[in-house]
């Protein structure tokens, strides 16, 4: 199913949660809605599901206006951050719930329900937990059961609201890889909300960056990271150094800074003179906190640990940093 929203606006009192948002979600792809808290991503997801009604605009499903359809008529599966499983029901009955509450004319037989649930539990690799209850499961297991329950009704669209937000970092990483593999098997048009940049860039086919109820940029993960359309996108997707100039500002990622001693730099080389305040060299990369000589502001640089060892840098010594790659946005600052 294709999904499109046209000129969607939604207010809560004086607060504009969505401000004239238009987007297309490709069929069969996994799209991440990414942005800080309060940017409108969950509100947009709920408008698509039919759980919220926009003040203006349309939600189109396969090209047809679904704005007036009830949530049950939109054929969407919804997975919440906090699982929303029924604690008094077994895992089996949780997954079967959506099938059992269908209208009698559409409800599968008991044999069909048992077969379907078994298949889904095998799909999420938890068939051995069918007789357990949600409180007996880990957070990662509960979220996979919540996903199986959403898939039971064979949704044409899968919507996930911060699906891994309540889990610890290690489990999050495991589950997002699992979700990507599952999506590649099912090819259900899917949209998931997250504020985790790494999660969005690793899992999604398409990333939508949102800020203050508006869309800042849409593109493939590598496109939005390597070619940010605005200072907000540059700053939100990872660490960045900002060097202010007379007509604008240059944005440079820490790993795009060349670091060398002042006395070994090429004659006449442009750069910023800094002092090494602290180095953290664990693993393949060394992180350097550098203090600018002119204004005392901090510059972050990342270099290979091997190069850090070769330079034999000492805290307090004077260095020169030069950008290997940068992007300039006009009118973002005053003179250096």
Of residues 216 and 333, which shows the higher confidence score?
Answer: 216
Assess whether pLDDT exceeds 60 at residue 244.
Answer: yes
Assess whether pLDDT exceeds 50 at residue 283.
Answer: yes
CA terminus-to-terminus distance, the chain: 51
What the block records as the tokens of 237 is 């997707």
Percent of the chain whose predicted confidence (pLDDT) is above 70: 97
| Cα separation, 99 vs 83, whole angstroms | 18
Mean pLDDT of 267-283: 89
SS3 assignment, position 263:
helix
The highest-level CATH class for domain 240-330 is: mainly beta
Mean pLDDT of 307-318: 92
Assess whether pLDDT exceeds 70 at residue 261.
Answer: yes
Mean pLDDT of 107-126: 90
| Cα separation, 320 vs 243, whole angstroms | 14
Mean pLDDT of 138-161: 86
Confirm if 288 and 238 have CB atoms less than 8 A apart.
no
Mean pLDDT of 34-49: 94
| Cα separation, 159 vs 148, whole angstroms | 13
> Which of 86, 81, 78 lies closest to 166, judged by CA?
81
Assess whether pLDDT exceeds 50 at residue 26.
Answer: yes
Mean pLDDT of 69-84: 78
pLDDT band per the 50, 70, 90 thresholds, residue 166: low
Assess whether pLDDT exceeds 70 at residue 218.
Answer: yes
> Which of 190, 188, 187, 162 lies closest to 175, judged by CA?
162
| Cα separation, 204 vs 33, whole angstroms | 9
71 Cβ contact partners less than 8 Å away, ≥ 6 residues apart: 49, 50, 51
| Bridge partners (DSSP) listed for residue 321 | 259, 272
Average pLDDT of the chain, as a whole number: 89
Q: What share of the chain is helix, strand, coil (3-state, %, to 5)?
A: 30, 35, 35
Confirm if 157 and 165 have CB atoms less than 8 A apart.
no
Assess whether pLDDT exceeds 80 at residue 245.
Answer: yes
Assess whether pLDDT exceeds 50 at residue 333.
Answer: no
Q: Report the CATH fold assignment for 3-234.
A: Rossmann fold (3.40.50)
In this prediction, residue 334 carries a pLDDT of: 40
The DSSP bridge pattern shows strands 257-261 and 214-219 to be unpaired
In which residue ranges of the chain is CATH 3.40.50.300 found?
A: 3-234
Q: Which of 244-248, 291-295, 308-312 has the lowest mean pLDDT?
A: 244-248
In which residue ranges of the chain is CATH 2.40.50.100 found?
A: 240-330
Is the whole model's pTM more than 0.85, yes or no?
no
In this prediction, residue 30 carries a pLDDT of: 94
């Amino acid at each position: 199913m294709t999904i499109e929203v046209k000129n969607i606006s939604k207010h809560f009192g004086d607060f504009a949660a969505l401000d004239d948002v238009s987007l297309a979600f490709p069929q069969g792809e996994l799209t991440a809605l990414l942005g800080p808290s309060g940017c409108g991503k969950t509100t947009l997801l709920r408008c698509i599901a039919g759980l919220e009604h926009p003040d203006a605009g349309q939600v189109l499903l396969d090209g047809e206006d679904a704005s007036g359809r009830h949530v049950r008529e939109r054929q969407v599966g919804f997975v919440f951050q906090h699982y929303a499983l029924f604690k008094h029901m077994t895992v089996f009955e949780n997954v079967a719930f959506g099938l059992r509450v269908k209208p009698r004319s559409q409800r599968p037989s008991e044999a069909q329900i048992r077969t379907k649930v078994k298949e889904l539990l095998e799909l999420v690799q938890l068939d051995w937990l069918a007789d357990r209850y949600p409180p007996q499961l880990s957070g990662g297991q509960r979220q996979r059961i919540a996903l199986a329950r959403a898939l039971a009704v064979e949704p044409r669209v899968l919507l996930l609201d911060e699906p891994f937000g309540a889990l610890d970092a290690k489990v999050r990483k495991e589950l997002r890889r699992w979700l990507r593999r599952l999506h590649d098997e099912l090819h259900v048009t899917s949209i998931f909300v997250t504020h985790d940049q790494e999660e969005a860039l690793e899992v999604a086919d398409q990333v939508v960056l949102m800020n203050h109820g508006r869309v800042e940029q849409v593109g493939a993960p590598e496109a939005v990271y390597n070619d940010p359309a605005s200072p907000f996108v540059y700053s939100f997707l990872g660490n960045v150094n900002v060097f202010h100039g007379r007509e604008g500002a240059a944005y440079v990622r820490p790993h795009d800074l060349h670091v060398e001693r002042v006395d070994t730099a090429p004659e006449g080389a442009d750069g910023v003179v800094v002092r090494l305040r602290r180095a953290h060299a664990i693993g393949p990369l060394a992180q350097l906190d550098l203090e600018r000589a002119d204004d005392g502001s901090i510059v972050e640089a990342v270099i290979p640990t091997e190069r850090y060892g070769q330079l034999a840098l000492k805290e307090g010594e004077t260095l020169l940093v030069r950008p290997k790659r940068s992007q300039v946005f006009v009118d973002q600052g005053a003179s250096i």
